[in-house]
Amino acid sequence: MVTFCIWGENIMQVTAENKKVPPTYSRTNPFHAKVLKNINLNGADSSKETRHIELSLQGSGLSYNPGDALGIVPSNDPQLVSSIIEEMHWDAETAVTINKQGETLALKDALTIYFEITLLSKKILQQAAEFTDNEELKNLVLVENTDKLKAYTDGRDLLDMLREFGPWKATAQEIVSLLRKMTPRLYSIASSISAHPDEVHLTIGAVRYTAHGRDRKGVCSVQVAERVTEGETLPVFVQPNKHFHLPESGDKDIIMVGPGTGIAPFRSFIEERAVTKAAGKSWLFFGDQHAATDFLYQDELEKYQKEGTLAKLETAFSRDSEKKVYVQHKMEESSKELYEWLENGAYFYVCGDKTYMAKDVHNMLLNIIEKEGGKTLEEAEAYLIDLKKAGRYQRDVY
């Protein structure tokens, strides 16, 4: 028989024979990694805040490969937690049951570290309707209003629901029982363990925006931007990514497209290739808003280019010219050479925004193959499908 640690705690597993064995850190048993460095990569006048985080893995036994992700189990914004408790006139120290095992936490702690409070679902609203006489909510959860219900959940959180659909006939326990457990946030690892033994680095853009009359904050991104200082710890685990990795052979050329925080895995790729002295050439397309304030890892990248680890470095800063220039435009400018690299066996990688950037890059890649290869659109699409099957077109998009 093995007795496991309480959720989130780093203690040893103890067997029935009282022998201590090293803990296995995972999503359900994260390692509390010490923060070694937490700096803003953007310049003072930037509209963005991108944090470079360095964490110690010393004593964890954790390892990773370039392309893998790191999971962080975040904590909710204390101000949001306080606002929810105040709205409902709850006692922050009330004990609530948090799971089927019957474990309890003080309400304030449960809302801070255990439950997801920034995301709403149709199920939460449907169940919550049982605890109020509010006609608006009763109407919203009707089957014929499914589209309206889905639209309501977009960009709203628990506080919105509690404020808008009261008065409530529910205890704190009944409300928290509607909530889901906090979901870990995954970030592409921005370092090579060969270059930084016992460390893992991340590149995290702080998410802040206004919606439905309130300022909103990304749970994990703003936690690390505002509330995590050097010397503190974050609960983490390694999430392998079998579909995004360097070629097995260091002789292969690689083309990397990673604007903004999409640079993260490519920093790990480049560091790994620098350490292993890979013979294959590396070509990076990076983009952001302004060269003066948003050229992430500029000194490092230019150093790698000077040393030859990075054969080519193309940059696109969209707000530095009248006509916005993005990474796909830089690809188009180098279309002949890019196609030659592909024909010679290069691997093509994309990391970053799924909604716009990755689609634009995909379409430009098709155009380049069509134009430079003298192919029809159907033939270009077949060419890309073959690249994917061969593992030579890989995407890490979010």
Domains of the chain: 25-74+184-239 (2.40.30.10), 78-176 (1.20.990.10), 254-397 (3.40.50.80)
pLDDT over threshold 90, residue 10: no
Q: What confidence score (pLDDT) does residue 168 get?
A: 98
Token pair recorded at residue 286: 């990076």
pLDDT over threshold 50, residue 370: yes
pLDDT over threshold 50, residue 5: no
What is the CA angle 216-220-225, rounded to 5?
Answer: 85
For the chain, the straight-line distance linking the first and the last C-alpha, in angstroms and rounded, comes to 40
pLDDT over threshold 50, residue 2: no
Q: What is the mean pLDDT of residues 373-395?
A: 98
Q: What radius of gyration do the chain's Cα atoms show?
A: 24
Digit-coded pLDDT (tens) for 36-66: 999 999 999 999 999 999 999 999 999 999 9
Q: What confidence score (pLDDT) does residue 21 get?
A: 59
> With contact defined as beta carbons under 8 Å apart, do 234 and 248 qualify?
no
Q: What confidence score (pLDDT) does residue 280 get?
A: 98
Residue 108 φ then ψ, to 5°: -60, -45
Half-sphere exposure of 292 (CA within 13 A, CB side): 7
Digit-coded pLDDT (tens) for 69-86: 999 999 999 999 999 999
The Cα 347–Cα 338 span in angstroms is 11
Token pair recorded at residue 48: 């963005």
pLDDT over threshold 80, residue 7: no
Residue 193 φ then ψ, to 5°: -70, -20
pLDDT over threshold 50, residue 3: no
pLDDT over threshold 70, residue 12: no
pLDDT band at 15 (very low <50, low <70, confident <90, very high): very low
Nearest to 191 by CA among 256, 245, 265, 268: 268
Digit-coded pLDDT (tens) for 175-212: 999 999 999 999 999 999 999 999 999 999 999 999 99
- The mean pLDDT value of the chain amounts to 94
> With contact defined as beta carbons under 8 Å apart, do 350 and 257 qualify?
yes
Helix axis angle, 264-276 to 298-307, nearest 10° = 30
pLDDT band at 6 (very low <50, low <70, confident <90, very high): very low
Q: What confidence score (pLDDT) does residue 23 get?
A: 77
Q: Which residues pair with 237 in a beta bridge?
A: 71
Nearest to 31 by CA among 196, 181, 199, 264: 199
| HEC secondary structure over the chain | CEECCCCCCCCCEEECCCCEECCCCCCCCCEEEEEEEEEECCCCCCCCCEEEEEEECCCCCCCCCCCCEEEECCCCCHHHHHHHHHHHCCCCCCEEECCCCCCEEEHHHHHHHHECCCCCCHHHHHHHHHHECCHHHHHHCCHHHHHHHHHHHCCCCHHHHHHHCCCECCCHHHHHCCCCECCCEEEEECCCCCCCCCEEEEEEECCEEEECCEEEECHHHHHHHHHCCCCCEEEEEEECCCCCCCCCCCCCCEEEECCHHHHHHHHHHHHHHHHHCCCCCEEEEEEECCHHHHCCCHHHHHHHHHHCCCCEEEEEECCCCCCCCCHHHHHHHCHHHHHHHHHCCCEEEEEECCCCHHHHHHHHHHHHHHHHCCCCHHHHHHHHHHHHHCCCEEEEEC
Q: What confidence score (pLDDT) does residue 197 get?
A: 97
> With contact defined as beta carbons under 8 Å apart, do 209 and 216 qualify?
yes
Digit-coded pLDDT (tens) for 205-232: 999 999 999 999 999 999 999 999 999 9
Q: What confidence score (pLDDT) does residue 237 get?
A: 98
Q: What confidence score (pLDDT) does residue 22 get?
A: 66
Residue 213 φ/ψ region, left for φ over 0, alpha for ψ in the -120 to 50 degree band, beta for the rest? left
**Tell me, what amino acid is at 36?**
L
Digit-coded pLDDT (tens) for 313-342: 999 999 999 999 999 999 999 999 999 999
What is the edge-to-edge ordering of all strands in the sheet holding 13-15? 2-3, 13-15, 20-21
Residue 91 CB neighbours (<10 A) = 12
pLDDT > 70 fraction of the chain, expressed in percent and rounded: 94
> With contact defined as beta carbons under 8 Å apart, do 284 and 313 qualify?
yes
Q: What is the mean pLDDT of residues 140-149?
A: 97
Q: What confidence score (pLDDT) does residue 16 get?
A: 41
pLDDT band at 93 (very low <50, low <70, confident <90, very high): very high
Residue 40 φ then ψ, to 5°: -90, 125
Token pair recorded at residue 269: 């790729």
CA distances from 246 to 354, 387, 397 (A): 21, 14, 16
Q: What is the mean pLDDT of residues 377-392?
A: 98
* 7 or 216: which leads in pLDDT: 216
